[in-house]
Structure 1
Amino acid sequence: MQDEATARARELRRDGSRAERICWELLRGRRLNGFKFRRQHSIGPYFADFACISLKIVIEIDGDHHAFQVETDNRRTAAMEQDGWRVLRFWANQVVENPEGIWTEIEQALLASAPHLASPPRGRGT
C-alpha cells in the first residue's frame, strides 16, 4: 500500500499544473519564513498539494474542474480539518495572476498559526 501511495505522489508531483509549479517555487527551500513544505503529502486517503507538517497547514490549488466537484472538495477539506489540518484553497488562476498575493495570504496563515514567529528568522551575520 505504501508503495502505491509513494508512486501516486511521485506521479502527482511530476504532472503538476502550471499553478502548482508556481506555488512550489514560492514554498520550496523554506523560502516562506523558514517553514518547510512538502508536495503531494499523503493525509489519510488524500494527497495535499502542499503541506506544512509542523503547523498542519495544507495548501490546495484548484483548477477549473474543481468548480464541478464542490461536494467532493468539501468532504476532502472536512476530513483534513477533522484530522487537525487547516486547509487554504486557491484557484489556479489566482496563483498564476497574483503569486505575491498568494504568498501574503499563506504567510499570514503561517504566522497566525505560529505567533511566536511573527518576526522573520534572522539570517547569518545579522
Structure 2
Amino acid sequence: MSDSNPIYTKDLRRQLRRDATSCELLLWHYIKGRQIEGLKFRRQHGYGPYVMDFFCTELRWCVEVDGKIHDTPENRQKDADRTSYLNQQGITVTRMKNEELENGVQGVVERLHETAMQLAADKHIQLPLGRGGTRIKKEKKTRFPGIYHNGLGRTEEPYKGCSDPQPPNLGGYDRS
C-alpha cells in the first residue's frame, strides 16, 4: 500500500476532516468505532492522487458520500475516473447520495452491513463479528455514562439531519 496516504495530500486530508459535510458527519457517527461488522473505517484516507471519504483497509473498501456537486456531467466523469482508478488498485467503491442519508440513515447503514458481508465473502475474509453477533470487545469506560461520543465532543442525541448547511453544535454545550 505504498500509495496509501501520500504525504502530499496530508494537509488536504486534515482540511477535509475539519470541513466535513453534515452528511459525512452523520454517516461517521454510524460507522466509527467498528460498528459495521467490526470493521475499522478511516475518514478522508488518501490513496494515490485521491482522498476517499471513508476507507476500510481490511476489505479495501471505499465509501463515498456524494452531494449535489457530483450531479454535473463533468463531476460524474471525474467520479467515474476515480472509481476506475481505485478499482484497478483493488479497492471497491460504494457511493451514496446525501439524499439517501437524509431520507433514512438506517437504510444506508443496513446496506453497508450487507455490502461488508458480501465483500468479506468474496475475499474469503472472516469478519470479527457475525450479523447480529455479540461484541467480544471490552466496553469502553466513560466518565459520562449514557452519553454518546460523536468525535467532536459529547452530546445526548446523535445528530439526525444532514440537509442543513451548518450542522448543529455537536459538542453538547454552547461554546460562545
State the AA in 2 paired with 1:12: L
C-alpha distance in structure 2 between counterparts of 1:66 and 1:123, whole Å: 37
Is the contact made by 1:22 and 1:96 (CA closer than 8 Å) also made in structure 2? no
Shift of 1:97: 1.8
* Alignment CA distance shift 1:124-1:108 (3 Å): closer
Counterpart selection for 1:41 from 41, 45, 56: 45
C-alpha distance in structure 1 between counterparts of 2:80 and 2:120, whole Å: 26
Aligned residue in 2 for 1:59: 63
Q: Does 1:122 align with 2:103?
A: no
Aligned residue in 1 for 2:106: 100
Structure having the larger proportion of residues in helix: 1
SS of corresponding position for 2:40: coil
Aligned residue in 1 for 2:140: none
* Alignment CA distance shift 1:124-1:55 (3 Å): closer
Post-superposition Cα deviations, 1:27-61, rounded to whole Å, max 9, x if no partner, equal 10111121000000001100000011110110000
What is the alpha-carbon root mean square deviation over aligned residues?
1.7
Aligned residue in 1 for 2:83: 77
TM-score under structure 1 length normalisation: 0.91
Structure 2 unmatched ranges of 5 or more:
1-5, 138-176
Structure 1 unmatched ranges of 5 or more:
none
TM-score under structure 2 length normalisation: 0.66
> Which protein shows a greater Rg?
2
